[in-house]
Amino acid sequence: MSTSYDVINPTNETIVKNVPHLDIAATDDVIATAAKAFTTWRTIAPGERARLLRSFSQVVTDHREELALLEITNSGHTRGNALWEADNVANTLMYYAAAPERLFGRQIPVPGGVDITFKEPLGVIGIIVPWNFPMPIAAWGFAPALAAGNTVVLKPAEYTPLTAIRLGELALLAGIPEGVFNVLPGKGSIVGNRFVTHPLVRKVVFTGSTSVGKQIMVGCADQVKRLTLELGGKSSNIIFADADIAKAAAGAPGAVFDNAGQDCCARSRILIQKSAFDTFMEHFEVAVKKFRVEDPNLATADMGPLISKKQFDVVESFLDEPIAFQGSAPTGPGYWMPPTVLLPKNTQSRSWREEIFGPVVSVMTFEDEAEAIEMANDSEYGLSGSIWTRDIGRALRVSRGVDTGALSVNSNSSVRFWTPFGGFKQSGLGRELGPDALDSFTEVKNVFISND
């Protein structure tokens, strides 16, 4: 029995397109195709694989406007963000296009012969993508996977399949051979789960909620299947009184409300040193009220709608705590919510502890450095965070003290394709991006060659 899904534009609630879903039999067919394609893709000369990835990157760049428009329509991302996301796919492909020719092994001194290591590809890689950043999160998996000589089966989120489907077509246009990069729209419980249970899928790359990630980890244990998890977050924006408070406050809305707060790196906790609270809140209120929530097609938009009615209802359920102030949002059709600043009663409040994944931030004060670190670490999550101070020693001490994977000092940006990204604690397992990501798409093989 095959099903399909009506993709909804979250800006106006109209149906964009009906997308057919794969069932288990169709999923198995594509996995078999990808396994067959692996036998040739892994043997393609490194320089040729590099050339094909550069070509894929260029084709994505040539279609950046089209891809961005698809994402604006499917996901309500602002025009500025959607273009950045398409470019991030092209950049990530270009970065890993340098890898096939540099996938060095070692020569290790041993008695009686020569010992060398190889970084062998794994086979078929299953990538499961959430709806919040459909393009970049897909590329952080498929670019290094393909570069290392693997083939890919990619399942986009049910809500947001359109850019992934188009990227599959663009790969073919760029000359990537048939069967190497496959996009499989469908349900998580069917297509995604099949990646976990199918023995020919040798690794799962999952980005999404911590609860589904745990189920996938359990499922992968059965075949000792390799696994990377990028899960939820509850990250802190820690602002010391010695910081440039006006600058920290001006940047704080973007640090949490970007992509309508549907960002695993959202700094949804603001920790402000008590002596600077009043000054910060004055500047912050001005910045929140200036944050433009409007039609994401407009070049001026800072934020669009939430992805779905379901997500809207989840986020709205957090708004029963004391509100400091709110921004504005359009009314009428679409899943619009104004940016909202909460003042939770204490650190046990739901808004302080749970990932909200919407345009809501909670503000609390701290006395000193030790308390700031303790409050930031009081979470099961550990993904990102920001530290604002002019004191370099303090910046270093707090950076080392906060248990998260991607921190920024006097900045709110945590993702660069050059550098590793991933979580501590229940925010994930393994790292994506940067020079080391290739290690998680290869197995080390050791070969000893006797002198005899």
Nearer to ligand NAP, 161 or 339 (CB): 161
CB atoms within 10 A of CB 157: 22
Nearer to ligand NAP, 227 or 245 (CB): 227
Nearer to ligand NAP, 49 or 267 (CB): 267
Is residue 128 close enough to count as binding ligand NAP by CB under 6 A?
yes
Is residue 258 close enough to count as binding ligand NAP by CB under 6 A?
no
User: Which one of the spans 55-63, 80-88, 125-133, 318-326 is the region binding ligand NAP (CB under 6 A)?
Assistant: 125-133
Q: How far is the CB of 161 from ligand NAP (least distance, A)?
A: 9
Contacts of ligand NAP in 84-113 (CB under 6 A): none
Contacts of ligand NAP in 285-324 (CB under 6 A): none
Is residue 207 close enough to count as binding ligand NAP by CB under 6 A?
yes
Q: Catalytic residue among 71, 158, 264, 294, which?
A: 264
Nearer to ligand NAP, 5 or 277 (CB): 5
Binding mask 420-449 for ligand NAP (x = CB under 6 A): ---x----x---------------------
Residue 323 tokens read as 């509100």
Question: Which of 78, 91, 182, 193 is the binder for ligand NAP (CB under 6 A)?
Answer: 193
Per the annotation, the verdict on 220 as an active-site residue is: no
Kindly give, in sequence order, each residue whose CB lies less than 8 Å from that of residue 342, ignoring residues fewer than 6 positions away: 318, 319, 321, 322, 323, 324, 351, 360, 361, 362, 363
Q: How far is the CB of 374 from ligand NAP (least distance, A)?
A: 23
Q: How far is the CB of 209 from ligand NAP (least distance, A)?
A: 3
Q: How far is the CB of 2 from ligand NAP (least distance, A)?
A: 15
Is residue 413 close enough to count as binding ligand NAP by CB under 6 A?
no
Is residue 212 close enough to count as binding ligand NAP by CB under 6 A?
yes
Binding mask 218-257 for ligand NAP (x = CB under 6 A): ------------xxxx------------------------
Is residue 129 close enough to count as binding ligand NAP by CB under 6 A?
yes
Nearer to ligand NAP, 210 or 349 (CB): 210
Nearer to ligand NAP, 153 or 174 (CB): 153
Q: How far is the CB of 357 from ligand NAP (least distance, A)?
A: 5
Contacts of ligand NAP in 317-356 (CB under 6 A): 355
Kindly give, in sequence order, each residue whose CB lies less than 8 Å from that of residue 68, ignoring residues fewer than 6 positions away: 79, 82, 83, 85, 86
- Measured at the alpha carbon of residue 203, what is the angle toward residues 200 and 205, in degrees to the nearest 5? 135
Q: How far is the CB of 117 from ligand NAP (least distance, A)?
A: 30
Distance of CA 357 to the CA centre of its chain: 13
CB atoms within 10 A of CB 43: 9
Q: How far is the CB of 220 from ligand NAP (least distance, A)?
A: 11
Nearer to ligand NAP, 95 or 357 (CB): 357
Nearer to ligand NAP, 121 or 405 (CB): 405
Is residue 208 close enough to count as binding ligand NAP by CB under 6 A?
yes
Print the SS3 string covering the chain: CCCEEEEEECCCCEEEEEEECCCHHHHHHHHHHHHHHHHHHCCCCHHHHHHHHHHHHHHHHHCHHHHHHHHHHHHCCCHHHHHHHHHHHHHHHHHHHCCHHHCCCCEECCCCEEEEEEEEECCEEEEECCCCCHHHHHHHHHHHHHHCCCEEEEECCCCCCHHHHHHHHHHHHCCCCCCCEEECCCCHHHHHHHHHHCCCEEEEEEECCHHHHHHHHHHHHCCCCEEEEECCCCCEEEECCCCCHHHHHHHHHHHHHHHHHCCCCCCCEEEEEHHHHHHHHHHHHHHHHHCCECCCCCCCCCECCCCCHHHHHHHHCCCCCCEEEECCCCCCCCCCCCCEEECCCCCCCHHHHCCCCCCEEEEEEECCHHHHHHHHHCCCEECEEEEECCCHHHHHHHHHHCCCCEEEECCCCCCCCCCCECCEECCEECCECCHHHHHHHEEEEEEEEECC
Nearer to ligand NAP, 245 or 306 (CB): 306
For ligand NAP (CB under 6 A), the number of binding residues is: 30
Binding mask 172-191 for ligand NAP (x = CB under 6 A): ---------------xxx--
Per the annotation, the verdict on 230 as an active-site residue is: yes
d(CA 146, CA 99): 10
Residues contributing to the site for ligand NAP (CB under 6 A): 128-132, 137, 155, 157-158, 187-189, 192-193, 207-209, 212, 215-216, 230-233, 264, 355, 357, 383, 423, 428
The set of catalytic residues is: 230, 264
